[in-house]
Structure formats: structure tokens, C-alpha cells
Amino acid sequence: MRNDSFSSIWVVCPAYNESSAIVSVITRLRQAGYDVVVVDDGSADDTRQLASTLATAVVSHPINLGQGAALKTGIDYALEQGADVIVTFDTDGQHRASDIPRLLDALVSNQADFALGSRFLSEPLNMPRMRRILLWGATLFTVATTGLRLTDTHNGLRAMTRRGAQALRLRQNRMAHASELLAEIARSRLRYVEVPVTIDYTTYSLAKGQRTGDFVMILLDLLAGKLYR
Amino acid sequence: MIAQLVLSLLLAVVLLYAWAQYRRSPIVTILSCVVSLMGFYFVWLPSHATRVAEFVGIGRGADLILYVWACISLVVLLNLHLKLRTQHELLTQLARSIALANAALPEDARPVDAPRKSSLTEAQMSQPRYRRTDAPTPGQTADQSA
């Protein structure tokens, strides 16, 4: 499957009130030739309607559950469709479709099951200082808790093989899913590789992104997730 | 003596509940057992409360009991929080099942200016390892493959 070709590549785009960005994001992905499933996470605006005209498929949560839940739904859908490779891609416009081939290349050349985007292996554009400090702290936390050697732990652009996706057990609905996903990669003992990607920080993507207080909630969510089965 | 028996009965119920919860949340079980056993200790040996309080630097035995009660309340809150999370996970699974069962496939609703898979240019599909099975092969034009 992995040595010569990926016959089915699905890009999972979780979306919540993304009507102002989703058209350009999905259009670029479709022009690049990928199947795109948009997971509308109970948006109150017309995200779903806009996605319906462009994406390969639209899956809609009846209520807002969070980005982690939307990603899991999209991954499940892609697996149902027989995806060989699943790419997760934010819909706020911070990722570039042109980075995806590098992730796919990395999966093949490293015989890996996960290719994780890292903004710190390339030059981050317009990254606010506070965001850099928080991400640095998150990276230290992840390295300490999972043992994974990573430079960027909260990057939404990743690619995973079918086997990798099937190995993930994701329960965190909200922002803690990024850390949980890395913990699951560590647990699975499957091979992973980091790939340089570019993040375009815009006023819009920064407004949609995580805030300082979110990191406290992420830690509490991760802790609570450990306390029950 | 009557109060001690009643309190002991209640604490025994807490212990049974804690045991029943072990599979769902070991941490709640452990904390519940600890506070229940402390309860048994102080119910049957109330005079020790003051000595233990002095030992841990609280002063009065009544204050120690109050603090233990506060700890019990926190354990109850934690247990409720974890139950809520469990319920939320079930709700998530239900919502996900509904969403997947009602997935929209708007392939035919695509606007005319948006590309279909089969009409992608060769340059866009220039990576043969990832070439889609229905994409044009190198040297073949999009029209030929359509």
C-alpha cells in the first residue's frame, strides 16, 4: 500500500463557523486533487452550505462537540470510504495545500504511519511571541509525557496511513485532542516523522486559534481523561 | 452508640459504592476508601481526632473533621465530573453516528468552475506515487482520461 502508491487520499477538515475562510481552503484542496470531507461541528453560520458546494462529502454534527470530536468523525468517515491516507487540515486558512505532498513523501520515504507538520522546522511567519512561548511549553510537556521527539506538538496539519488512523483511540473532544493524539502515537509504537510546513498567521486564524487560558483547560482535560475509563 | 452505628452504616455504603466504581474510575475508589476509613476511625475513636489534629498542625479535632468533610465533598465533585464526562462521551458517539449516517455527498452539486477529479491537470497530479486511480496518466491529457 505504502511503497508505491496511495490510491485514496482523504483530507479531513473540521469546521466550526468558518464561512469566511472555508471556500478558499476547500477550493485549493480540491484543485490539488484530494478528496475532502468537511466535518461541520454544529456551525451557526452557513459553513455547511458553503462546504456542500465544494467538498467531496460533508458530515454534520447535530450539536457542537469540539475540534477533537470533529476530527475523529472525519477520520472515521474517511476510513469508511477506504482511505489509504488521511490528512488533517484546519479550515481557518493557516495551512497550505502545497505542504501535503511533503507529508505524503515523508510517509513513503520513512516508511512511517504518521507524518506530523512542524512549523518550527521551517520559518514561522508572523508568529506572535506569546504563541511561540506557549507552543514551546506544550512541546516540553509532550516530550516529557510521551517520549516523542517533536518540535511542534499543536500543529493541525498531519498525514496518517490507514493503519495509523485505525490505531488511534481518540476521546478528547476539544483542544486536548492534539496532545491526546500524540500520546496515542506513542502508545501505538508506530513510526512517525516530522515534516516542515508553513503556517500562515492571519488576524482571522489567530482569532480562531487557541488562547493562553486554553492551555490550562487542555491540561485539566488531559488529567481528567486519565482518571476514568 | 446509636450515632456511631448509623454513621458506620453510611460509611459502609460509601465503601460498597467505591468498590462498585472501581472499574470505571480507580482514583475515585481509592479516594472514597481513604476518606471512608478515616470516617470509621474518627467515628469509633473520636478522642483521637484532637490528637491527630494537633499532630498535623490543625489544632482542634472539630476543624480536622471539617477539613475531612471538605475533602469528601471534593471527591464527590470529582466523581460527578467524571460521570458527566462519561455521559458526554456517549453523547459524542451518538452525535457521530447520526452525522455519519447522514453524510452529504454533494459531488453533483459542484459548481462548473470547480475541477472534478478527472479534469485535474497533469501538473497538479505530477506525483505518480500518489496518483489517483482515476487520474490521467503521464502523457495523457485530461480530456483523454475523462
**Tell me: the pLDDT tens digits for B15-50?**
898 888 888 778 888 988 988 888 888 888 888 888
In chain A, what percentage of residues exceed pLDDT 70?
91
Q: Which of A6-20, A150-164, B32-46 has the lowest mean pLDDT?
A: B32-46
pLDDT at position A154:
83
Name every chain A residue with its beta carbon within 8 A of the beta carbon of B92: 65, 69, 173
Contact check, Cβ <8 Å, B125/A228: no
Over range A81-105, report the average pLDDT: 94
Summarised one tens digit per residue, pLDDT across range B50-69 is: 888 888 888 888 888 888 88
- pLDDT value at residue B112: 41
Q: What does the pLDDT average to over A142-167?
A: 90
Question: Regarding predicted confidence, which is higher, A176 or A88?
Answer: A88
In 3D space, the residue among A119, A113, A136 whose CA is nearest the CA of residue A187 turns out to be A113
State the pLDDT at residue B140.
45
In chain B, what residues touch A6 (CB-CB under 8 Å)?
A: 129-130
A76/B97 Cα distance (integer angstroms): 10
Q: Is residue B12 predicted with pLDDT exceeding 50?
A: yes
The pLDDT value recorded for residue A15 is: 95
Is B27 in Cβ contact with A5 (below 8 Å)? no
pLDDT, mean over chain A? 88
| B117 vs A184, more confident | A184
C-alpha–C-alpha distance, residues A170 and B48, integer Å:
48
Rounded CA gap, B10 and A42, in Å?
A: 45
- Provide residues of A within 8 Å CB-CB of chain B: 4-9, 27, 30-33, 35, 37, 39, 52-63, 65, 69, 72-73, 76-77, 80, 101, 104-105, 108, 171, 173, 224-225, 227-229
**Shortest Cα distance from B60 to chain A (angstroms)?**
33
Residue ranges of domains in chain A: 9-226
Whether residue A153 contacts residue A182, with contact meaning beta carbons closer than 8 Å, is answered with yes
Provide the pLDDT for residue A226: 73
Instruction: Average the pLDDT over each of A137-151, A205-219, B48-62, B101-115 and give the range with the smallest value.
Output: B101-115
Instruction: Say whether residue B133 is in contact with chain A using an 8 A CB cutoff.
Output: yes
Give the pLDDT confidence score for residue A120 in this predicted structure: 85
Nearest to A57 among B85, B103, B127 (CB): B103
* pLDDT attached to residue A214: 72
Q: Which stretches of chain A are assigned E, i.e. beta strand?
A: 9-15, 35-40, 57-60, 85-88, 114-118, 158-161, 192-196
Of the pLDDT bands very low, low, confident and very high (cuts 50, 70, 90), residue A206 is: low
For residue B132, pLDDT beyond 50: no
The answer to whether the complex's ipTM is over 0.90 is: no
The answer to whether the pTM exceeds 0.80 is no
Q: Sheet harboring A57-60: ordered strands across?
A: A57-60, A35-40, A9-15, A85-88, A158-161, A114-118, A192-196
**Would you give the distance in Å from CA A222 to the centre of its chain?**
18
- For residue B52, the distance in angstroms to the closest alpha carbon of chain A comes to 30
How much is the pLDDT for A56? 95
Of the candidates A33, A69, A64, which has an alpha carbon nearest to the alpha carbon of residue A47? A64
Percent of chain A with pLDDT over 90: 61
Region A38-65 average pLDDT: 94
CATH of domain A9-226: 3.90.550.10
Give A-chain residues touching B107 at CB under 8 angstroms: 56
A55: nearest CB among B106, B129, B132: B106
Mean pLDDT of A211-229: 73
Asked if A62 lies within 8 A of B103 by C-beta distance, the reply is no
Tell me the chain A residues in contact with residue B111 when contact means C-beta distances shorter than 8 Å.
53-54
Element (H, E) at A214: helix A212-226
pLDDT at B109: 44
Kindly tell me if the per-residue pLDDT of A219 is higher than 60: yes
Nearest CA in chain B to A3: B129
Q: DSSP assignment of A107-141, as one string?
A: HHHTT-SEEEEETTSS--BS--HHHHHHHHHHHHH
User: How far does B55 lie from chain A, in Å, by closest CA?
Assistant: 31
- What pLDDT is recorded for position B142? 40
pLDDT digits (tens, 9 = 90+) for A164-180: 999 999 988 888 888 89
pLDDT of residue A210: 63
Is A54 close to B27, i.e. CB distance below 8 A? Answer: no
Set of chain A residues whose Cβ sits within 8 Å of the Cβ of B100: 59, 73, 76-77, 80
Is A190:A168 a contact under the CB 8 Å cutoff?
Answer: no
Q: Assess contact for B101 and B128: CB atoms under 8 A.
A: no
Q: How many CB pairs under 8 A join A and B?
A: 111
pLDDT value at residue B23: 81
| Chain A contact for B130 (CB, 8 A cutoff) | yes
> Between chains, do B135 and A33 touch, taking CB under 8 Å as contact?
yes
